Amino acid sequence: MKLKTLITIFCCLNVFISLAQDDVLTKEQIQGDIEFLRKTLDDKSSYVYLNGYDFNSDFDGYLKKIGDSTQLEDFGLFLSQTLGKIGDRHSSMATIRGYDLNESLFLPFIYAPLHDKVVVLNMGKDNELGIRYPRFPFLKKVDGTDIQDFLQKTRPEDITAPKQTYFTLAVRDIRDIEKNYRLLNKPLPKEIKLTLSDGNWQKDTVVMVPVVDRSERLRPWDEKFGVEYLFVKDEDYNKPEVIEKLFDIEDGIAYIKLPEMASKEEAPLLFERFNSFMKSIKDDSEALIIDVRSNGGGTRDLLYEFAKYVIHPDSIHVVNVTRQRGPIPLPEDYKQSLNNRFLYPMSELTGRERTTVNTFLNTFKPIYEMDDTKYSEYYFGLLNGKKLTGQSFYYDKPVYILANEKTFSAASIFVSVFKGLPNITIVGTTTDGSSGNSDWFDLPNSKLFGKISTMVSFQKDGKILDGFGTAPDIKIERDMDQILWKSDTQLEKLKSIIKGTN
């Protein structure tokens, strides 16, 4: 069963739980939940303490601050903020579930990220995006607070995300003004003063905008190519009418769009089409683009399916190094979970693979030293050309992987794994790196639940994925036309680069 399906089931169950539970928690209940979570983090979390943050001080401070009781939503918000500081992106993106801030008031307009600025947009009658104030397109201040300072305080659950990821997520959330003012600990006025500026940050204007209710709010900004697949379900990637739109070839440039890292078991037709497309472009293409922008992840199946074509049969590459948190030695179910991610210990590698790994380890410098009593031995992700090739062929043309700051989880691993390998170039912006073999936890009193990672995952350069992401070899950012859905500038620029270098 897919992760999205599991999350949906959990959320639906929790709706009924929430209806039955009190909105007020006693201090004793909160203390019980905090102690439960404290033990869970100490026993299972793979990233806890690695970045220097000690959650215990925040837990203790919260218990001292509250009175005899507190609201469920306040407790949930505190836990989301606290977990965000650990540096575990799966924990941050899932946040704590099972409580509702009951937001009813929002800012009008749509807010989009352009480099380090915020563009204020509106939606026209024909669902066309336009700049709300053309002479003053950029948001400079919110109620007198500089926009950069404002944003740094309104997305605490993502505070350790890569810089561009955090900025994009926080900008999209400007709309949620009731939540933001709650985080700022400020009363929400009926009107908000927005200071807008021109492109040179020289001329300003001030507009007073009323807060609006839920019925008048606009959807947060997304890329046009992201919106197209926003409501596509997991099982839809096994439908021919959806699959066919993901593959194209034009002017000798082959193109594959991967909106999700689908599993082979649940989307066999997608994998069949992937393989047939690769065969069809063998002699008819001069380059290949794999587009994983705004791909929220899934499984590693597509990674290894693609590797069959781009890893030379005579080569072996170490592409991922991990250590699992858990009892030592690892129980069999832990080992199986790692094997499901194509990760194996030294003892299960072939002679050639061990030689490659030993050579790799001679220069591998992980940013964190791990406690051998808490973490397993290394489990390695390898791309062994001889094992991969099988009935496929080696695609020896240039390959470009297009990514952005919303390329997450297994999709971010896809980018990290192929970065630096022969014939492969990463293009776009830094990914929202995340890899952790995550697991769910449920708090006994509040019935809140969330996720934590149980595996530390290193890239080839020794950095972890979480909080760092993978930087592109060629940086191409979106422009105003892409924000306004007039063009896919990143893709068009990449095609121009390919045509200019081939």
Q: What is the pLDDT of residues 170-189, one digit of tens each?
A: 999 999 999 999 999 999 99
In this predicted structure, the answer to whether residue 323 has a pLDDT above a threshold of 50 is yes
Report, at the CATH architecture level, how domain 105-224 is classified: Roll (2.30)
Parse the chain into domains and list their residue ranges.
Answer: 3-94, 105-224
What is the C-alpha to C-alpha distance for residues 438 and 370, in angstroms, rounded to an integer? Answer: 18
Determine the pLDDT at residue 16.
35
- CA quadruple 193, 199, 201, 205: dihedral sign: negative
The arithmetic mean of pLDDT across residues 203-209, rounded, is: 98
Q: What are the respective helix, strand and coil percentages of the chain, to the nearest 5?
A: 40, 20, 40
| Band of pLDDT at residue 427, cut at 50, 70 and 90 | very high
| Band of pLDDT at residue 22, cut at 50, 70 and 90 | low
The type of residue at 97 is R
Residue 342 vs residues 304, 320, 334, 390: alpha-carbon distances, Å: 9, 10, 13, 17
In this predicted structure, the answer to whether residue 1 has a pLDDT above a threshold of 50 is no
Determine the pLDDT at residue 11.
46
pTM: 0.93
| Band of pLDDT at residue 79, cut at 50, 70 and 90 | very high
The arithmetic mean of pLDDT across residues 449-476, rounded, is: 97
| Band of pLDDT at residue 235, cut at 50, 70 and 90 | very high
Residue 247 vs residues 273, 280, 290, 398: alpha-carbon distances, Å: 9, 11, 10, 17
Q: How far apart are the first and last CA of the chain?
A: 43
Residue 479 vs residues 151, 172, 289: alpha-carbon distances, Å: 21, 17, 20
In this predicted structure, the answer to whether residue 324 has a pLDDT above a threshold of 70 is yes
In this predicted structure, the answer to whether residue 363 has a pLDDT above a threshold of 70 is yes
Residue in 304, 261, 306 with CA at minimum distance from that of residue 409:
261
Residues 6+ apart with CB under 8 A from 328: 372, 373, 374, 375, 376
Determine the pLDDT at residue 23.
86
Residue in 99, 110, 50, 56 with CA at minimum distance from that of residue 77:
99
Give the rounded percent of residues in the chain with a pLDDT score beyond 90: 89
Residue in 383, 267, 261, 388 with CA at minimum distance from that of residue 320:
383
| Band of pLDDT at residue 199, cut at 50, 70 and 90 | confident
Length of the chain: 502
Tell whether omega for the bond before 113 is within 30 degrees of 0, i.e. cis.
no
Strands (E), 277-357: 287-291, 316-324, 343-345
Give the single-character DSSP code of 261: B
In this predicted structure, the answer to whether residue 123 has a pLDDT above a threshold of 50 is yes
β-strands 399-403, 424-428: how paired? parallel
Determine the pLDDT at residue 93.
66
Enclosing H/E stretch for 175: none
What is the C-alpha to C-alpha distance for residues 201 and 147, in angstroms, rounded to an integer? Answer: 13
Please provide the average confidence, as pLDDT, over all residues in the chain: 93
